[in-house]
Amino acid sequence: MKYKNNVFEKRGLENILDDVLEKKLGEVDVNNVFDKTLTHPKITGIAGDVIEQSVIGYKANSKQEPDLIVDGNSVELKTTGIRKSKIEGVNYEAKEPMTITAVSPEKIIFENFEESNFWHKLNNILLVYYLYDSESTVEAAEYSRFFIKGYQFHNFTDEEKEMLRNDWTIIKDFINKLHLEHEKPEVEYSRISSELRPKLMLVDTSPKWPNRPRFRLKRSTVSTIVQKHFGEKLEQLPKRYTSFFEIDNKLNKIANKYRGKSIEELISPQMFNIPVRLNKKDDVGKSVAEQIVTRMFGANEKKLGKIELFSKLGISPKTITQTIDGKRTEDMKFFSVDFDEWLLKDQVFENSTLYSDFSSNHFLFIIFEEPSANAKLLDNKFLGFKRFIFDENFIEKDVKKCWDEVREKVFTNTLEEKNEYKKNGELITNKKGTVRTSINFPKSKTHNVFLRGSGNDSRDKKLVLNGISMYRQNVWIKGSSIISMLKSVDYI
pLDDT at residue 13, as a whole number: 95
Give the closest residue to 466 by CA, choosing from 399, 403, 402, 416. Answer: 416
Q: How many CB atoms lie within 10 A of CB 50?
A: 29
In sequence order, the 6+-apart residues with CB closer than 8 A to the CB of 72 are: none
Helix, strand and coil percent figures for the chain, each rounded to 5? 35, 20, 40
Question: Which amino acid, 252?
Answer: N
Mean pLDDT score, 283-293: 91
pLDDT at residue 64, as a whole number: 60
Strands across the sheet with 98-102, in order? 98-102, 214-217, 203-206
Q: Is the pLDDT of residue 316 over 50?
A: yes
Whole-prediction pTM: 0.88
Per-residue pLDDT of 168-220, as tens digits, reads 999 999 999 999 999 999 889 988 988 898 899 999 998 777 788 899 999 99
Measured CA to CA, the distance from residue 365 to residue 272 in angstroms comes to 20
What's the CATH code, domain 7-229? Answer: 3.40.600.10
Where b means 16+ CB within 10 Å and e means fewer, 126-151 reads: bbbbbbbeeeeeeebbbbbebbbbbb
Strands (E) in 288-436, as ranges, are 315-322, 332-336, 362-369, 381-388, 417-419
Give the closest residue to 386 by CA, choosing from 402, 354, 370, 362. Answer: 362
pLDDT at residue 1, as a whole number: 41
Decide: helix, strand or coil at residue 427: strand
Question: Which amino acid, 304?
Answer: L
Domain ranges for the chain, please list them: 7-229, 244-396+480-486, 399-479
Helices (H), ranges, 343-416: 353-360, 392-394, 400-411
- Place 3 in a pLDDT band, splitting at 50, 70 and 90: very low
Between 55-59, 259-263, 407-411, the lowest mean confidence (pLDDT) is in 55-59
